[in-house]
C-alpha cells in the first residue's frame, strides 16, 4: 500500500527526494515493524540515518519514510477506516472518522459497527473491492447527520483488507443543490409562462372538431416555444395555427407569446395565409432576429372543403381521409420567420367530410438517431390507424411516436376533424346560393330567394325576417358599390345562420355615421345593429365578400 500520495496533506512532512535501492529500504521496514509491534530493535550499521526535514517553524520534522501507517492515517484530515477480512471487521478508524461519525469498536464487522457505510451505499462495494482488487467510489452521498461524502474503497494488497476514504463534499453538494433548485424554479417559471400564453380553451367552430396537446420536455430539457391556436374568422371560416420558437426558456416563451398575439391580430384582418406569414416574418425579425421561429397558418372554409395554408419553415400538414389514406401537404414552404427576403405563397390541401388533419411541431417526429423525414413517415403511419375523437387521436399519436414525460423536446399537436354528418345531424347543416344577374331587379329576386330558403329551414318568423332584411341590405350594397360577378350565399349550421354576398370589386365596406341628408351609408350600420357579427374580406381571385351572422336560439 502506497501512502506517498497523501503526503501533501500532512503538516511538517515532505517526500524524500533521493531514491533508495532495495537494500536501503530493508532497515526502514524492520524499524517500521518494530515500532508497530512494540519491540525495540537495534539500528543496522548499514542503514543510513534518516535526515529530518524542516517544518514551517524552521525546526526539523519527520520525513515521510519515518512515519508509520497509523501515524499517516491519523494525520489525514479526512475520515479513514481500515477494514480487514471477508466480513470487513473494523481494524482502525482515524480521529477525523471518529469526529464525523463517532468512535467505532475494533474487531466488529462493519455491517454492525458502521451504519453510516450502509447509508452511504458503501457496504455493497466492499465485497466487490476484495473480489476484484479494483477500487470503487460512490459520489456525493448524504448522511443522516446532514453531511455529504464521496467515498473511495481501495484494496490493500496482500492484506485482505479495504481502506475506506471519505471526502467531505458537503459544500459542493449544497451548491449543486442550490443550482438544481434555481434551474427547477427557472423551468417552472418558463413552463407556467408557456402554458399561460397558450389558449386556455380552444375555440370550437361549427363545422370542425378540434383538440390540442402540449407537453414540455423532460426535467433535463429546457422549455421551448411551441404553440398553437384556433381562431374563428366569421362566415364559418376558421384559422389554424401552429409554430415553434427555436430558443429555450423564458425568452423563447415570451417571443412565442408575442407571435401568437400578432397572429390573432392579423387573422382579424381576414388576410390570405401567405400575407399573414409575410407580416409575421417582418415582426419576428423586429422582436429578436436571433430567435428563429417556424409557423404554419391555415384557413378552413366549409364551402370549399379544403385548407388554404402557408408555411414558414414548418413541418408539413398531414391529412387522413376517411378510408385511412394519409396525404402530406406539398410546397409552398418558405424559410423560417425572421429571415426576411422571401415572398411567401399559399397552397391548398383537401379536407373533405370524414377527414382528419394534424399540425405538429418537430418535437413529435425529430429523433437524434434518424432523419426527420423518417419521423414524419412514422407519424403518417400512426395517423392512418388513429380513429376516435380529436383528443383520442392526439393521445394515440403521442404514444405511437414514443413521447414520454422524459422526452428531450417540447411537443405540440393540433388535431382537426371535419366530421361526415348523416341522419338528423346532417339536417342541421344546409347551403343555398343564388347568382345575382341583371340590374336592380336582382334585389327583389334575392329577397324572394332568401324568404323561401329560410322558410324551408323552419326558422322562427322573427329570425327569418331579420335574415331577409340583412340579405336585402347586403345585396343592395353590392349592387351599388360592387361589380359583377355577384353571388348570394346562405348557410345554416347547428348554431348560426350565415349570409354572404360576393362581388368583383375589392374595396371593402366600412361602417360610418351617415348624415341626415345622406341617401346612402346606412346599410352596413343596419347590418351591424341587427346581426350577431359581420365582416368583410378580399377573395383570392379578386373581389370581396361581405357577410353577417345570426346566432340561432338553442
Report d(CA 534, CA 92) in Å as an integer. Answer: 90
Which cell numbers hold the place of 345?
A: 405563397
In 3D space, the residue among 283, 301, 279, 317 whose CA is nearest the CA of residue 233 turns out to be: 301
Q: Which residues pair with 333 in a beta bridge?
A: 311
Report d(CA 173, CA 136) in Å as an integer. Answer: 20
Residue 380: other Cβ atoms inside 10 A: 18
Q: In the block, which residue shows the cell 371535419?
A: 418
Per-residue pLDDT, 74: 83
Answer yes or no: are the C-beta atoms of 88 and 162 closer than 8 Å: yes
Which cell numbers hold the place of 39?
A: 519491540
Please write down the long-range contacts of 158-163, taking CB distance under 8 Å and 24 or more positions apart: 159/1, 159/84, 160/84, 160/85, 160/86, 160/130, 161/82, 161/83, 161/84, 161/85, 161/91, 162/82, 162/83, 162/88, 162/126, 162/129, 162/130, 163/1, 163/80, 163/81, 163/82, 163/83
Per-residue pLDDT, 476: 92
In 3D space, the residue among 305, 285, 304 whose CA is nearest the CA of residue 293 turns out to be: 285
Per-residue pLDDT, 440: 81
Distance of CA 177 to the CA centre of its chain: 24
Per-residue pLDDT, 373: 92
Distance of CA 444 to the CA centre of its chain: 58
Which cell numbers hold the place of 165?
A: 476514504
| Residues 6 or more apart in contact with residue 323 via CB below 8 angstroms | none
Strands 306-312 and 333-334: parallel
Give pLDDT tens digits for 221-242: 456 688 999 999 989 999 999 9
Per-residue pLDDT, 61: 61
For residue 451, give Cα distances in angstroms to 89, 118, 434, 467, 542.
102, 88, 13, 8, 29
Distance of CA 103 to the CA centre of its chain: 52
Report d(CA 344, CA 277) in Å as an integer. Answer: 7
Report d(CA 163, CA 154) in Å as an integer. Answer: 5
Per-residue pLDDT, 277: 95
Per-residue pLDDT, 20: 39
Per-residue pLDDT, 288: 80
Which cell numbers hold the place of 98?
A: 471518529
| Residues 6 or more apart in contact with residue 19 via CB below 8 angstroms | none
Helix or strand or coil: residue 43? coil
Per-residue pLDDT, 25: 41
State percent of the chain over pLDDT 70: 84
Report DSSP state, residue 128: H
| Residues 6 or more apart in contact with residue 160 via CB below 8 angstroms | 84, 85, 86, 130
Which cell numbers hold the place of 172?
A: 459542493
Give pLDDT tens digits for 262-309: 999 999 999 999 999 999 999 998 888 778 899 999 999 998 889 999
Q: What is the mean pLDDT of each run of 10 residues along the chain (554 residues)?
A: 40 40 41 44 45 51 69 86 92 91 91 90 90 91 82 87 91 85 74 75 92 78 77 94 82 85 92 94 86 93 93 96 94 84 91 96 89 94 94 95 83 94 86 90 94 95 96 93 93 95 92 60 86 92 93 87
For residue 112, give Cα distances in angstroms to 89, 142, 144, 149.
9, 20, 17, 20
Q: Is the pTM of this model over 0.85?
A: no
E-assigned strand segments in 55-108: 60-61, 80-84, 89-93
Residue 442: other Cβ atoms inside 10 A: 20
Answer yes or no: are the C-beta atoms of 491 and 546 closer than 8 Å: no
Per-residue pLDDT, 224: 67
- Which alpha helices (DSSP H) does 78-149 contain, by range? 95-101, 110-113, 115-119, 123-132
Answer yes or no: are the C-beta atoms of 336 and 294 closer than 8 Å: yes
Which cell numbers hold the place of 516?
A: 341626415
Alpha-carbon torsion 474, 476, 477, 479, what sign? positive
Answer yes or no: are the C-beta atoms of 332 and 278 closer than 8 Å: no
H or E element at residue 151? strand 148-156
Strands 80-84 and 161-168: antiparallel
Report d(CA 150, CA 162) in Å as an integer. Answer: 16
Report d(CA 228, CA 374) in Å as an integer. Answer: 24
Per-residue pLDDT, 4: 40
DSSP 324-365: S-EEE--S-EEPPBT--------EEEE--TTEEEEEE-GGGT
Amino acid at each position: 500500500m502506497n501512502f506517498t500520495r497523501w503526503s501533501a496533506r500532512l503538516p511538517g512532512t515532505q517526500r524524500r527526494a533521493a531514491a533508495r535501492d532495495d537494500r536501503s529500504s530493508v532497515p526502514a521496514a524492520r524499524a517500521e515493524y518494530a515500532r508497530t509491534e512494540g519491540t525495540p530493535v537495534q539500528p543496522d550499521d548499514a542503514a543510513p540515518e534518516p535526515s529530518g526535514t524542516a517544518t514551517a517553524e524552521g525546526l526539523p520534522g519527520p520525513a515521510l519514510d519515518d512515519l508509520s501507517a497509523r501515524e499517516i492515517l491519523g494525520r489525514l484530515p479526512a475520515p479513514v477506516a481500515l477494514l480487514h477480512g471477508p466480513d470487513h471487521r473494523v481494524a482502525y478508524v482515524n480521529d477525523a472518522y471518529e469526529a464525523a461519525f463517532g468512535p467505532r469498536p475494533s474487531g466488529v464487522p462493519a455491517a454492525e459497527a458502521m451504519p453510516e457505510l450502509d447509508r452511504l451505499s458503501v457496504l455493497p462495494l466492499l465485497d466487490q473491492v476484495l473480489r476484484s482488487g479494483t477500487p470503487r467510489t460512490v459520489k456525493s452521498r448524504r448522511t443522516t447527520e446532514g453531511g455529504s461524502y464521496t467515498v473511495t474503497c481501495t484494496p490493500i494488497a496482500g492484506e485482505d483488507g479495504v481502506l475506506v476514504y471519505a471526502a467531505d463534499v458537503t459544500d459542493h453538494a449544497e451548491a449543486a443543490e442550490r443550482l438544481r433548485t434555481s434551474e427547477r424554479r427557472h423551468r417552472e417559471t418558463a413552463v407556467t409562462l408557456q402554458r399561460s400564453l397558450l389558449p386556455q380553451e380552444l375555440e370550437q367552430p361549427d363545422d370542425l372538431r378540434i383538440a390540442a396537446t402540449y407537453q414540455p420536455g423532460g426535467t433535463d430539457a429546457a422549455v421551448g416555444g411551441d404553440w398553437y391556436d384556433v381562431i374563428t374568422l366569421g362566415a364559418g371560416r376558421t384559422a389554424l395555427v401552429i409554430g415553434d420558437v427555436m430558443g429555450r426558456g423564458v425568452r423563447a416563451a415570451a417571443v412565442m407569446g408575442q407571435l401568437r398575439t400578432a397572429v390573432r391580430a392579423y387573422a382579424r384582418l381576414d388576410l390570405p395565409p401567405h400575407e399573414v406569414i409575410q407580416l409575421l416574418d417582418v415582426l419576428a425579425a423586429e422582436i429578436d432576429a436571433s430567435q428563429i421561429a417556424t409557423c404554419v397558418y391555415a384557413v378552413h372554409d366549409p364551402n370549399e372543403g379544403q385548407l388554404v395554408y402557408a408555411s414558414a419553415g414548418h413541418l408539413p400538414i398531414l391529412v387522413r381521409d376517411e378510408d385511412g389514406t394519409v396525404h402530406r401537404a406539398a410546397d409552398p414552404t418558405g424559410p423560417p420567420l425572421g429571415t426576411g427576403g422571401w415572398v411567401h405563397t399559399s397552397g391548398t390541401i383537401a379536407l373533405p367530410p370524414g377527414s382528419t388533419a394534424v399540425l405538429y411541431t418537430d418535437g413529435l417526429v425529430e429523433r437524434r438517431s434518424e432523419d426527420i423525414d423518417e419521423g414524419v413517415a412514422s407519424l403518417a403511419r400512426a395517423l392512418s390507424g388513429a380513429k376516435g375523437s380529436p383528443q383520442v387521436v392526439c393521445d394515440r399519436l403521442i404514444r405511437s411516436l414514443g413521447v414520454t414525460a422524459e422526452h428531450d423536446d417540447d411537443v405540440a399537436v393540433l388535431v382537426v376533424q371535419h366530421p361526415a354528418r348523416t341522419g338528423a345531424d346532417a339536417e342541421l347543416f344546409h347551403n343555398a346560393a343564388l347568382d345575382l344577374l341583371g340590374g336592380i331587379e336582382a334585389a327583389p329576386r334575392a329577397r324572394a330567394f332568401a324568404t323561401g330558403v329560410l322558410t324551408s329551414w323552419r326558422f322562427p318568423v322573427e329570425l327569418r325576417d331579420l335574415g331577409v332584411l340583412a340579405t336585402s341590405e347586403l345585396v343592395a350594397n353590392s349592387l351599388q358599390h360592387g361589380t359583377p360577378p355577384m353571388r348570394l350565399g346562405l348557410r345554416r349550421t347547428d348554431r348560426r345562420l350565415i349570409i354572404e354576398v360576393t362581388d368583383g370589386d375589392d374595396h371593402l365596406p366600412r361602417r360610418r355615421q351617415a348624415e341626415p341628408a345622406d341617401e346612402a351609408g346606412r346599410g352596413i350600420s343596419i347590418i351591424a345593429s341587427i346581426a350577431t357579427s359581420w365582416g368583410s374580406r378580399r377573395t383570392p381571385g379578386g373581389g370581396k365578400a361581405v357577410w353577417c351572422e345570426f346566432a340561432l336560439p338553442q
